[in-house]
Amino acid sequence: MFKKILIANRGEIACRIIKTAKKLGIKTVAVYSDADLNSLHVEMADEAINIGPALVSASYLSIEKIICAAQESGAEAIHPGYGFLSENPKFPIALEKAGLIFIGPPVEAIKSMGDKITSKELAKKAGVSIVPGHMGLIKTVEEAVEVSMKIGYPVMIKASAGGGGKGMRVAWNDNEVKEGFYASKNEASNSFGDDRLFIEKYIVKPRHIEIQILGDSHNNLVHLGERECSIQRRNQKVIEEAPSTFIDKKTRKKMGEQACKLAKAVGYTSAGTVEFIVDKDKNFYFLEMNTRLQVEHPVTELITGIDLVEEMIKVAQGKKISFTQDDIKLNGWAIESRLYAEDPYRNFLPSIGRLTRYRPPNELTLPELVVRNDTGVTEGGEISIFYDPMIAKLCTWAKSRPEAIKLMQDSLDNFEIEGVGHNLPFLSAVMGHPRFLSGDITTAFIEEEYQEGFVGVRLEKKDLRLLCSAIASIHIFKEIRKSNISGRVNDKVEAVVDDWHVFVQGVQSRVKVVKSENDVLVQYADIETQKVNFKWSPGDVLVKFTINGEKYSLKVNNIIDGYRVRFRGADLKVQVKTSRQVQMSLVMLEKKEADTSKSLLCPMPGLVTSIDVSEGDEFEQGQTLCTIEAMKMENMLKAEKKGVVKTILARVNQSISVDQLIMEFE
């Protein structure tokens, strides 16, 4: 067994690898950039070595510095995690030269699978079914349009070196091909330093399902079932599960066998993933092979009970996999939600900043339920512009899919994140979405179900009432507390009124609220009475409560004139008023919000890469006005409605902050 390994990564994956290493009794070495000095992975590792400035090219992507760190610390092997150097064939080559072991597949496998075109040719040869497309690189826009027309719209423009949704564009017509060609080229060159592109058929109602494989150097190769990764946004996975509701035993077997065939063909060892696109008739086509540990590997671990990192470490030492294909049983259901620092209400634009509050739900390992949270951040940490905006991967496991989803809903309700915009409400929304619950999903799920963007969840009557009871109970608690303030004229505490009106989501409920020793009774006009029991004290954001025996959690903040309540993906203002206040509030006038449609404000911090209009220009709805680069992603800011540009205040190459004025309209 290795004595010491180095993890050439950061964030949650570095932490996750350290955990397994600790379990195996292996000492760990973390590397960190200047920006990550206070990171969790640095704290968790036995040793930590600084490898330079925040910029990835000078730190986490520097093979030289990482090898130096390994030699300095005496680590024998290096786990690359995912991203960064994990699929760069130069890395294992350099490691070998330096006498270090790479915890991952052989160089040749990385090389051949790393190129999307080569990999496809190899797959075809190995008898794996592939998507119809143009085998070859696209050099010019004209060629892109010609090839696209030949394949037939819609088509997908992809970066040859791409991954993680970067450098990918779907085009439905010639114009979009032209636009996408340049955008992909730019992104590809920025992200991978390689701007080669290719084009293939875009399958319209596809599912993204992948097979986890594991091989050793003794010719053993197994597959660990599938992962359903269809819930994606802009080709970036958001929610994954294992198994898939769509895959039957027969298809699973076929997919698994093809995946193993391909792996065998390239002499694969270690953990890897073969991604397929599956159409509605369960035809599946090879997409690509990822020669590394995947972000979403925990769902496979949860249903197989296999620690993939442990297996990778063992295989790297030339050990045999300790089980056979027949030993692998898929057990129960696992879901993973990826928490990103991105603002769902602003079209998921990246958000950066300080995690002023970060309280994940408690991890849990019971025979019936598992809650696992893979994270690399702590409260007070920084989500910076330099790295991936993923905050955590929250996973739940239960015997059945509905139970796993319910557990996920509860866990999301218990997750507290403040300081940066995050997609928690969106994840909650999906967990409660009837189509997701039915399992009838495709990779277009988000696009189709949230066509107007995400605007929050409207609660159903039952959930609304739960919320109403909880807030009424909190309110009475606070009122009683205030009536006990010192310095009163009478020593006797006046009884607090019990007649309240709760306003939420346009619904007014009149309730009688009575507090007894242990709980609060909330009685509605329709005679329903809810018995609320809660553990909360003022200042707590999280309210854990029980209503009629069922457990729930919600988040509450005091705001002027009421409460801000977050529950099940809804973000609502709740007001609790006395009858007198209700009567008087009728006098208050509705005020209009300030008109902001006359200007374009920067929705995220970033760099202006282009301004696509000039002063005095007329523009159409949907026209690109300017492009902001943030988190290495190009974000085109498009016009919400037609208009004329009055003044432009931002300049190209200027770095700008959230809500900074970019241009004004007539």
Residue 483 binds other proteins, judged by CB under 8 A: yes
Of 31-39, 285-293, 384-392, 460-468, the segment contacting other proteins by CB under 8 A is 31-39
Residue 508 binds other proteins, judged by CB under 8 A: no
Q: Three-state SS for 658?
A: coil
Q: How far is the CB of 381 from other proteins (least distance, A)?
A: 7
What does the per-residue mask of binding to other proteins show for 355-394, with x meaning CB under 8 A? Answer: xxxx-------------------xxxxx------------
Q: How far is the CB of 249 from other proteins (least distance, A)?
A: 48
Output the CA angle 616-622-628, nearest 5 degrees.
80
**452 catalytic, yes or no?**
no
The two tokens of residue 311 are: 């297996």
Q: Is the peptide bond before 538 cis (omega within 30 degrees of 0)?
A: no
Q: Cβ closer to other proteins: 384 or 610? A: 384
Residue 486 binds other proteins, judged by CB under 8 A: yes
Q: Cβ closer to other proteins: 366 or 586? A: 586
Catalytic-labelled residue, pool 200, 228, 241, 288: 288
Choice from 97, 249, 367, 485 touching other proteins (CB under 8 A): 485
Q: How far is the CB of 169 from other proteins (least distance, A)?
A: 36
- The total of other beta-carbon atoms located within 10 Å of residue 595's CB is 7
Choice from 135, 497, 507, 652 touching other proteins (CB under 8 A): 497
Q: How far is the CB of 479 from other proteins (least distance, A)?
A: 9
DSSP H/E element including 96: helix 90-97
Q: Cβ closer to other proteins: 452 or 561? A: 561
Residue 503 binds other proteins, judged by CB under 8 A: no
Touching other proteins, residues 535-594 (CB under 8 A)? 537-539, 558, 560-561, 580-581, 584-585, 587-589, 591
Give me the DSSP letters along 565-614. EEETTEEEEEEEE-HHHHHHHTTSPP-PPPP-TTEEE-SSSEEEEEE---
Q: Cβ closer to other proteins: 450 or 503? A: 503
Q: Is the peptide bond before 243 cis (omega within 30 degrees of 0)?
A: yes
Long-range contacts, 235-239 (Cβ 8 Å, 24+): 235/165, 235/168, 235/443, 236/164, 236/165, 237/208, 237/295, 237/296, 237/338, 238/337, 238/338, 238/340, 238/423, 238/426, 238/427, 238/430, 238/446, 239/335, 239/336, 239/337, 239/338, 239/427, 239/430, 239/436
Taking the C-alpha atoms of 594, 597, 603 and 609 in order, what is their torsion angle to the nearest 10 degrees? -150
- The total of other beta-carbon atoms located within 10 Å of residue 558's CB is 12
Query: For the packed helices 116-125 and 249-265, what is the interaxial angle rounded to 10 degrees?
Result: 110
Task: Give CA 385 to chain center in angstroms.
Answer: 16
Q: Cβ closer to other proteins: 30 or 95? A: 30
Q: Cβ closer to other proteins: 381 or 421? A: 381
Residue 481 binds other proteins, judged by CB under 8 A: yes
Choice from 19, 254, 346, 354 touching other proteins (CB under 8 A): 354
Q: Cβ closer to other proteins: 573 or 642? A: 573
Interface with other proteins by CB under 8 A: which residues? 34, 37-38, 354-358, 378-382, 481-490, 493-494, 497, 537-539, 558, 560-561, 580-581, 584-585, 587-589, 591
The residues assigned a catalytic role are: 288
